[in-house]
């Protein structure tokens, strides 16, 4: 879990750094990254997550639908940042106040954090408990690398747009970097929550919960992938 959290954190900071280096030019050229990431996500869903999810639980279809609808709600709150959309806003009187926190797009931030936590829950599988002992947090055996790579590709443009939105709202750079770091580590909440659930279940129940989480993530990622590509 520590390794995947470090990767997601580095990805978020990398995406924010790209925008700082490239400016609006980076946002204008997001299309290629978004198209490649969207295609990878859809391929990963159908070749990897869908077979495992539908093979592990009979309620996979309902979970996919729930994920799709949930992502629709999160997208409404985040204004489409998850798939690289950036909307410039007129500055209200609150942007002229000395309070940094009033300038932050709180609905978008909370939506992105919840989104990142949900989609990362199946990254760490339930088999961290094996042969009577628990593998350490640096164990690589039970990381879903396909999903991890897909989420990394997905987070780069999201981090760029998030940084652009904060700087456009005149959020100080130090605060923007702290918020971006928070976004980078938010997947750890999802992985930790899933791991805590796994450790309260037997092997069969944990496997079924994993399949349900995978199906939920399929719905979320299909919503994002199809929006990006179509």
Question: Which pLDDT score, from 0 to 100, does residue 35 have?
Answer: 84
Question: Which pLDDT score, from 0 to 100, does residue 102 have?
Answer: 64
Tokens found for residue 107 = 């609905």
Question: Which pLDDT score, from 0 to 100, does residue 230 have?
Answer: 74
Structural domain for 30, as ranges: 2-87+98-229
DSSP string covering 100-158, please? SGGGS-HHHHHHHHHHHHHHTGGGB-GGGEETTEEPPTT--TTB-HHHHHHHHHHHHHH
Report how many domains make up the chain: 1
DSSP string covering 155-219, please? HHHHHHHHHHHHHHTT--HHHHHHHHHHHHHHHHHHHHHHHHHHTTS-HHHHHHHHHHHHHHHHH
- The reply to whether 92 falls in a domain is no
- The reply to whether 139 falls in a domain is yes
User: 43-69: b or e for each residue (b if 16 or more CB lie within 10 Å)?
Assistant: ebbeebbbebbbebbeebeebbebbbe
Instruction: Let me know: does 12 contact 155? Beta carbons within 8 Å.
Output: yes
- The reply to whether 156 falls in a domain is yes
- The reply to whether 218 falls in a domain is yes
Question: Which pLDDT score, from 0 to 100, does residue 80 have?
Answer: 74
Question: Which pLDDT score, from 0 to 100, does residue 167 have?
Answer: 86
- The reply to whether 178 falls in a domain is yes
Tokens found for residue 174 = 């130090």
- Average pLDDT across each block of 10 residues of the chain; the chain has 230 residues. List them in order: 91 93 77 84 92 93 96 84 59 49 75 91 69 48 85 90 86 92 94 88 88 94 86
Question: Which pLDDT score, from 0 to 100, does residue 211 have?
Answer: 92
């Amino acid at each position: 879990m520590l390794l995947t959290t470090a990767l997601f954190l580095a990805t978020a900071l990398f995406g924010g750094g790209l925008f700082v280096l490239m400016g609006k030019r980076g946002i204008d050229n997001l299309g290629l990254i978004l198209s490649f990431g969207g295609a990878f996500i859809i391929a990963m869903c159908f070749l990897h997550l869908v077979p495992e999810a539908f093979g592990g639980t009979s309620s996979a279809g309902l979970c996919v639908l729930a994920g799709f609808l949930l992502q629709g709600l999160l997208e409404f709150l985040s204004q489409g940042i998850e798939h690289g959309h950036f909307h410039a806003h007129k500055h209200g009187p609150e942007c002229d106040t000395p309070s940094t926190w009033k300038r932050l797009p709180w609905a978008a931030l909370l939506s992105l954090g919840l989104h990142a936590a949900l989609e990362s829950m199946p990254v760490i599988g339930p088999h961290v408990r094996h042969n009577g002992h628990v593998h350490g947090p640096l164990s690589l055996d039970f990381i879903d690398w396909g999903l991890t790579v897909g989420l990394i590709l997905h987070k780069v443009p999201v981090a760029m747009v998030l940084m652009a939105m904060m700087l456009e709202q005149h959020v100080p750079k130090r605060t923007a970097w702290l918020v971006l770091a928070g976004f980078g580590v938010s997947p750890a909440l999802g992985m930790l929550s899933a791991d805590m659930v796994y450790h309260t279940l037997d092997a069969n129940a944990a496997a079924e919960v994993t399949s349900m989480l995978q199906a939920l993530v399929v719905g979320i990622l299909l919503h994002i992938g199809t929006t990006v590509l179509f």
